[in-house]
Amino acid sequence: MKIVRINVENDDIGFEEITSDSTYYLRGARGLSSLMIHDEVPPLCDPLGKENKLIIANGLLAGSPFPCSARTSVGAKSPLTNGIKEANLGGRPAMMLARHGIRAIILENISPLLKLILIDEDGIKLEPAEQYNNLGNYELHSKLKNKYGEKIGIYSIGPAGQYLMKSATVGANDLEGYPSRHAARGGLGAVMGSKKIKAIVIKPPKKSKVNMHDLKKFREVSSPFAKELAQVKETFSTFGTPLMMKAMSGYGGIPTKNFRMGSYDKIDNISGESLHELVLERGGKKRLACSPTCVIKCSNLIVDKDGNHITSSLEYETMALNGTNLLIDDLDSLARIDHLCDDVGIDTIEFGGTVGVAMDCGKLNWGDAEKVFEILDKEIRYNTEVGKLYGNGVKIIGEKLNAERIPQVKGQGISAYDSRVFKAMGVTYATSPMGADHTAGAAIANRVPSLHKDYGELTYNEQKLDLSFELQIYTTVMDSMGCCYFIGPSYENMEILANAINAMYNLTLTREDIIQIGIDIMKTELEFNRKAGITHDMNDVPRFFREEPSDPVDLKYTFELDDLKTFWNRLDKHEF
């Protein structure tokens, strides 16, 4: 496997082979991007300037048949948090990169012109891309497929990325060919936009360059695990993440009306069950895999009354931040918002949080879906002043409107779980080096990082620091393997990952070695943030979560500041 270093300013392309004595040998995806950012990006640099680098990296298990292992990590210094950032996405391209023998692509400097990068059997080259200037992802992907073939994998940015909006995403095409998968959080699309790279196009190679030391042994580990996942996740496969809508509202922890409430009286209109019926009734699709090797298949495809594609895939976080949070209560509107966000290339979570703050300040009416479409389709798409107000995230709009309630941590909007109710999630938001990112340690109901420990009641503080800590470390490991976190960030699964790595790389790693990889990556990220000025003193949620009891369950955020500040002291002494 090799690392491809592209100086986009002068089209210079370098290759570095990752050998077994390289520091990068056991670093993949998030582990690799975070180490490179730590080693090569000046912590105080302008995230949208020349010195920042965009890293697109495969996991250690990419290219193998291990379940749900074909995700890509995108990393850089984030324009939203000013700290280290990794966001990962499914889709086609990770597997193609691995088959080309590429573990990571590093984009350096700033191109004078809009370009795309083409990877095929003949090598890698940069091409002018002015003809794609400001295109939305849907039209862009359609044109690229016409030119380079239906089977290509694509990473791309929409207009929001080109305008350097801080909520911009890096998108990819899914297995059906739609640009529906996004490295959404942290504004990484703006970093790609700052480099003036519109897309990376990968033609599938005829022959795979993935090395597998012992396929038989590998299958002995991965096949039973894949079988078990397919069985255990049966309900999840059928309904996907939208099934959480009703459950989270039932807990009183779904963001509603800019986090003023935690449950929604019209939740049945936009529940996972209602979505399921709508999709089946109209002939949409359920149980789709978003990337190769996925056995869980939690994605969906939504069509309109005439059977025309609206969006894929509508997920819980999008539905909550743009549905309950904005009091928009119909599924077609949510599907349209999702489509428009995918098209302009903007994070649905950050966008929903941003509009929620605007509605809370009286700039828009609650529930006005038409206005939300207009902001995406007419304002953000054309970089108007209004578009700039809504394209740069929760914190920026909150400060511009003098809002009192700004649901963000370290510059990034809070996701779809109220931290007053989901206590361990609230710890993750406050402490993760990634800002308020649920994917960094998603302590949702019933997720336990170890079957042998008791983590206490969901809504009580007891044991939640440890729960969040363990989830954050295990998630870091899984992110570095390129695995979807729905396979389960758990102590038990660390052993399965160790065995898979051993079979693939001819190693003898233990579960503890694998956990140590997660700890080392976390240290690297925290060290970068410290130098960038993102310190442990900033580990907290906005004041209103401490002062306003949640409605209707009457809970507040009550962790001691000191416990949050010293949270990462666990790194060297925690017993897993």
The token pair at 337 is: 């918002």
Cβ neighbours of residue 554 closer than 8 Å, sequence gap 6 or more = none
Residue 68 contacts ligand SF4 per CB under 6 A: yes
Residue 36 or residue 62: which is nearer to ligand SF4 going by CB?
62
Q: How far is the CB of 203 from ligand SF4 (least distance, A)?
A: 23
Helices (H), ranges, 506-549: 511-532, 543-547
Residue 94 contacts ligand SF4 per CB under 6 A: no
Q: How far is the CB of 131 from ligand SF4 (least distance, A)?
A: 32
Answer for which of 484, 494, 498, 538 binds ligand SF4 (CB under 6 A) is 484
| Residue 200 · residue 72 · CB < 8 Å | no
In angstroms, the CA 497 to CA 200 distance is 30
Residue 176 or residue 551: which is nearer to ligand SF4 going by CB?
176
Residue 296 contacts ligand SF4 per CB under 6 A: yes
- Strand, coil or helix: what is 412? strand
Q: Give the torsion through C-alpha atoms of 307, 310, 316, 317, to 10 deg.
A: 180
- Strand, coil or helix: what is 311? strand
Q: How far is the CB of 62 from ligand SF4 (least distance, A)?
A: 13
Stretch 125-154: interaction string toward ligand SF4, x if CB under 6 A:
------------------------------
Residue 289 contacts ligand SF4 per CB under 6 A: yes
Residue 259 or residue 486: which is nearer to ligand SF4 going by CB?
486
Q: How far is the CB of 283 from ligand SF4 (least distance, A)?
A: 20
CB neighbours of residue 105 within 10 Å: 24
In angstroms, the CA 489 to CA 496 distance is 11
Answer for which of 155, 218, 486, 567 binds ligand SF4 (CB under 6 A) is 486
In angstroms, the CA 344 to CA 156 distance is 11
Residue 481 contacts ligand SF4 per CB under 6 A: no
∠ at Cα 151 (149, 152), nearest 5°?
A: 80
Residue 81 or residue 291: which is nearer to ligand SF4 going by CB?
291
The token pair at 279 is: 């999709």
Q: Which range, of 34-42, 48-56, 158-166, 297-305, touches ligand SF4 by CB under 6 A?
A: 297-305
Q: How far is the CB of 411 from ligand SF4 (least distance, A)?
A: 26
Q: How far is the CB of 151 from ligand SF4 (least distance, A)?
A: 19
- Strand, coil or helix: what is 445? coil
In angstroms, the CA 77 to CA 409 distance is 16
Q: How far apart are the first and last CA of the chain?
A: 32
Answer for which of 58, 81, 109, 291 binds ligand SF4 (CB under 6 A) is 291
What is the widest separation between alpha-carbon atoms in the chain?
62
Stretch 222-251: interaction string toward ligand SF4, x if CB under 6 A:
------------------------------
Residue 81 or residue 300: which is nearer to ligand SF4 going by CB?
300
Q: Which range, of 289-297, 333-341, 404-412, 530-538, touches ligand SF4 by CB under 6 A?
A: 289-297
Q: Which range, of 40-48, 96-104, 284-292, 337-345, touches ligand SF4 by CB under 6 A?
A: 284-292
Residue 90 contacts ligand SF4 per CB under 6 A: yes
Cβ neighbours of residue 231 closer than 8 Å, sequence gap 6 or more = none
The whole-angstrom distance between residue 35's C-alpha and the CA centroid of its chain comes to 18
Is the bond preceding 313 in cis, omega lying within 30 degrees of 0? yes
Residue 341 or residue 465: which is nearer to ligand SF4 going by CB?
341
Angle between helix axes 464-481 and 491-505 (nearest 10 degrees) is 20
The whole-angstrom distance between residue 333's C-alpha and the CA centroid of its chain comes to 23
Residue 65 or residue 79: which is nearer to ligand SF4 going by CB?
65
- Strand, coil or helix: what is 347? coil
Residue 68 or residue 326: which is nearer to ligand SF4 going by CB?
68
Answer for which of 29, 37, 76, 294 binds ligand SF4 (CB under 6 A) is 294
Residue 310 or residue 487: which is nearer to ligand SF4 going by CB?
487
Beta bridge partners of 54: 107
Answer for which of 290, 310, 327, 497 binds ligand SF4 (CB under 6 A) is 290
Answer for which of 72, 82, 180, 299 binds ligand SF4 (CB under 6 A) is 299
Residue 137 or residue 354: which is nearer to ligand SF4 going by CB?
137
Name all contacts of 363-372 with Cβ < 8 Å and 24+ positions apart.
363/401, 366/257, 366/326, 366/327, 367/326, 367/327, 367/328, 367/329, 369/326, 369/328, 369/330, 369/333, 369/336, 369/337, 372/322, 372/326, 372/328, 372/333, 372/337
Q: Which range, of 34-42, 124-132, 217-225, 290-298, touches ligand SF4 by CB under 6 A?
A: 290-298
Q: Which range, of 34-42, 191-199, 295-303, 339-347, touches ligand SF4 by CB under 6 A?
A: 295-303
Answer for which of 172, 243, 298, 421 binds ligand SF4 (CB under 6 A) is 298
Residue 95 contacts ligand SF4 per CB under 6 A: no
Residue 300 contacts ligand SF4 per CB under 6 A: no
How large is the C-alpha radius of gyration of the chain? Answer: 22
Q: Which range, of 161-169, 283-291, 411-419, 555-563, touches ligand SF4 by CB under 6 A?
A: 283-291
Environment class of 552 (CB within 10 Å of its CB; exposed 0-12, middle 13-18, buried 19+): exposed
Q: What are phi and psi of 134, to 5 degrees?
A: 65, 15
Number of residues engaging ligand SF4 in binding (CB under 6 A): 12
CB neighbours of residue 80 within 10 Å: 29
Q: How far is the CB of 71 from ligand SF4 (least distance, A)?
A: 7
Q: How far is the CB of 241 from ligand SF4 (least distance, A)?
A: 8
Residue 192 contacts ligand SF4 per CB under 6 A: no
Site residues, ligand SF4 (CB under 6 A): 68, 90, 289-291, 294, 296-299, 484, 486
